[in-house]
Amino acid sequence: MKAVRGHWQMLVITAAILLLWFTPVIIPLKILIVFFHELSHALAAWMTGGSVDSIRISPQQGGVTVTRGGNVFLQMSAGYLGSLLIGVFLFLGAVRSHADRIMMAGLGAVMLLIAALYIRDGFALAFILGGGALMLVAARFLSRDVNDLVLRVVGLTSMIYVPMDIFSDTIARSELRSDAYMMADRFGGATMMWGGLWLLISLLVIGLCLRYGLGRHSNITRSNFPETPAT
């Protein structure tokens, strides 16, 4: 019961996300997680000495990142796991820090920068520019608690979406040309082997996040976010 009282807001948010999962309400969040997926491919390319030509996302929750050079193994592995880590970082940052507005503004700025440099197709450009602009507005004008709530929703959506997406793309429909399919084609093994490995890693990361990241309570309260007295 103490665990429920200490984390009831997270449980309510998670339940709401699951109840709305197959409705249009969640589609923008799912597309945002797809953007994190493609951004993770790009980050892996940059970190291993490669470059990025373009990033595309679609209304059907698909995406493609075109890279040159770098470590192909890490780039292919980075999509699902990288998007999960971004979500975990946003969630834990909201729960365990007071930097909600900074995190929101930083995410918005990254989205605008990526849109300006690497995105050319109309839908992706409108979505990323619009989303980035809204995040900057939220960081500037909305309260810290509202920014905190938004970051928690995004983070929890990522932690739900990624393992479900891995299972759907690489195990239930292993014939799809997914990252795991290309890993199997390039490095050997089976699509389901790579998908299963990523699924296990994603579940382990989520478990560690919930076990060690939440603390005794994660609810948004006045004591969590004391207001600065007026001078």
Domain for residue 9, yes or no?
A: yes
Domain for residue 106, yes or no?
A: yes
The residue type found at 58 is S
The answer to whether residue 70 scores a pLDDT higher than 70 is yes
Domain extent, residue 49, equals 2-213
Domain for residue 102, yes or no?
A: yes
Give the number of domains in the chain: 1
Q: How far apart are CA 95 and CA 90, in angstroms?
A: 9
What residues contact residue 194 under an 8 Å CB cut-off, 6+ apart? 170, 179, 180, 183, 184
pLDDT at 2: 64
Q: How far apart are CA 161 and CA 174, in angstroms?
A: 18
C-alpha distances out from residue 47 to 91, 102, 187, 224, Å: 24, 24, 21, 36
Is pTM, for the whole model, over 0.75? yes
Domain for residue 218, yes or no?
A: no
Domain for residue 219, yes or no?
A: no
Q: With left for phi above 0 and alpha for psi between -120 and 50, is residue 188 left, alpha or beta?
A: left
Domain for residue 223, yes or no?
A: no
Q: What does the block give as tokens for 125?
A: 């450009």
The answer to whether residue 230 scores a pLDDT higher than 50 is no
Domain for residue 122, yes or no?
A: yes
The b/e string for 29-68 (b: 16+ C-beta within 10 A; e otherwise) is: bbbbbbbbbbbbbbbbbeebebebebbbbeeeeebebebe
pLDDT tens digits, residue range 183-226? 999 999 999 999 999 999 999 999 999 988 888 888 887 544 44
Residue 15, classified by CB atoms within 10 Å of its CB into exposed (0-12), middle (13-18) or buried (19+), is exposed
